[in-house]
Amino acid sequence: MDSKLFENMIQNNWNAVVFANMQNIVEYVNPAACALYGYEADEIIGQTTDIFNSQLTHNTDDIVNSIKEKGYWYGEIIQRRKDNSNFNALLSVQLIFNEKNEPVGFASNSKDITLDIESAKHLRKTIEEKEILLRELHHRVKNNLALIKGILTLQAEKYTGETCGDLIDDFKNRVDALASLHKTLYNKNNLDKVNLVNYIEELCSSLSQTFEDGPTSVQIHLSLQEYDTEITKAVPLGLIINEVITNSFKHAFENRTIGTINVSLLSNNGSAILTIQDDGKGFKLNNDSKSMGVNLIKDLSEQIDSNYKFEQNNGTKFTLTLSSSNQSNN
């Protein structure tokens, strides 16, 4: 490159460019450096680069030693102007060699990033405020769902029919499944995805409490690996889990005093397999079975592009395969 052209590029660079020799004495500054630091060129040349360093975040000697050792230095630093005011700067310094490959000095490039930092702080504050509002929204939705459940309970007292009571109980469990999701989201920092471990734990705890006064003592055993999914996928998934476990509680353990439901979640390379298995009496597979909610499970599975199957294996075994497309990006 022509030396005149190179010099013109440095002179007209918007960033502050400074060259110091191996003794850290400034030998050149461009106009942008004079404007940034508030000096005339002849006030800077002959000084050490300490003239720019506030010493609030970095020691000049440490920076120089790092440059001599590694050949460069890069980072954020608080620098100082002629009027002793400080500002946040992004500074990069490179060791310069002559044609004999001998080090002759340091070339630095500095930029005032005060506004960038302030903008980033403002953006973080805005995001935090929106997350607080969103978390409060989830909290209120959870409370509203609890109110709906309370209304259903009051309404159920007016009816004595077994079928009607069962329908209301099933609907209350589905409301609980949605409430568990919003409770999980309210208690977490990251609101753009759902940790299925926390969600499934909350769901199973809620269902255990719902059926704890039943004739059978049922234990739910969990074996869950970490897996995150989108909120839109978590809602159908929670309802599916609710349907399967509710069915086990209601139908698998007739005439028994104890029972077990095992829930496992195995994740691998972005995919996951959810398995719910009870040690009950099993059931006759029938796509028209309303007690199992097979049609509901089928529709919900299609919503999240997942495959499922029921098997009779020392009880009822339900398996749902979640593909990698069901998982949100980390």
* Predicted TM-score (pTM) of this structure: 0.53
Q: What average pLDDT score do residues 196-223 get? A: 89
Q: What is the pLDDT of residues 232-278, one digit of tens each?
A: 788 888 889 988 998 898 888 988 999 999 999 999 888 899 999 99
Place of tokens 């989201």: 185
Return the higher-pLDDT residue of 226 and 186. 226
Domains in the chain: ranges and CATH: 3-112 (3.30.450.20), 127-326 (3.30.565.10)
Q: What is the pLDDT of residues 141-195, one digit of tens each?
A: 666 666 666 656 665 665 555 556 666 666 666 677 777 776 666 555 555 678 8
User: What's the pLDDT at 262?
Assistant: 96
User: What's the pLDDT at 232?
Assistant: 79
